[in-house]
Amino acid sequence: MAFSIDSSTLHDASCGDAAALDALVRRVRPAVERQLLRYPLSDEDRGDLLQATLVQIIRRVGSFRGDSSFSTWLFRVTANEALMLMRSQRRHRARLIEGMELEDLGGLAADDDARTSEPADELLATQERDARVRAALDELPAEYRDVVSLHYRDDLGLQEIADRLETTESAVRSRLHRARSRLRDILSQDEALALSGPVAA
């Protein structure tokens, strides 16, 4: 990402000059885009991350003191934003695979903050629900279970999974879609059985 930027533009931008900030953003944008290509993100996430990084550059350019090169500072700002997003996604995926967020799987509410104050009977129900999700994962065919585990637990992108499984990205995307659909069906059936109660012999 090494490149130089005009010192007067940098000074004016650090003082909040709108024209200088605009010039700075236009100058650094290609470098930020190139750096973000290194991270295993979807195109949508990468686009959102680009905008978030540019906003941070505008907000924090006044903190640049020249202790290192501007390109080094820019690299750090961009890397920090990317790593924050990836950590957030990793936490989300870890909760999902452990059954701690079920909105996308079975339409069941899950609120981690609310759990801390759940009565004992509600906490037990939550634990039972989580166990059903893990059991539902075990019911998936191996090819579906593998892609779910690699994507959500190991935090791999679709192309990384495709490379590991020696298949195509579109095949991985299709398997993930079908796996999630199967999980919804299994969980919905479990809910229906639970609501119907025991069947008389």
| Annotated domain spans of the chain | 7-89, 98-196
For 111-150, the pLDDT digits (tens) are: 444 444 455 555 565 566 667 777 778 888 888 888 888 8
Mean pLDDT along residues 40-68: 86
The dotted CATH code for 7-89 is 1.10.1740.10
68, 153 Cβ separation under 8 angstroms: no
pLDDT value at position 16? Answer: 87
Q: What is the pLDDT of residue 136?
A: 78
Encode pLDDT of 161-192 as tens digits. 998 898 998 999 899 888 888 887 777 775 55
Say yes or no to pLDDT of 25 above 90.
yes
Q: What's the confidence (pLDDT) of residue 54?
A: 93
Which pLDDT band holds residue 8 (cuts at 50, 70, 90)? confident
State residue 108's pLDDT score.
35
Q: Token digits for 128?
A: 């039972």
Q: Chain-wide mean pLDDT for the chain?
A: 76
What is the per-residue pLDDT for 5?
77
Residue 10 has pLDDT above 80, yes or no: yes
Least confidently predicted of 13-27, 96-110, 174-188? 96-110
DSSP string for residues in the chain: ------HHHHHHHHTT-HHHHHHHHHHHHHHHHHHHTTS---HHHHHHHHHHHHHHHHHHGGG--SSS-HHHHHHHHHHHHHHHHHHHHHHHHHHHHTTS--TTTTS----HHHHTT--HHHHHHHHHHHHHHHHHHHHS-HHHHHHHIIIIIS---HHHHHHHHTS-HHHHHHHHHHHHHHHHHHHHHHHHHHHH-PPP-
Domains 7-89 and 98-196 share a fold: no
Domain 98-196 fold is Arc Repressor Mutant, subunit A (1.10.10)
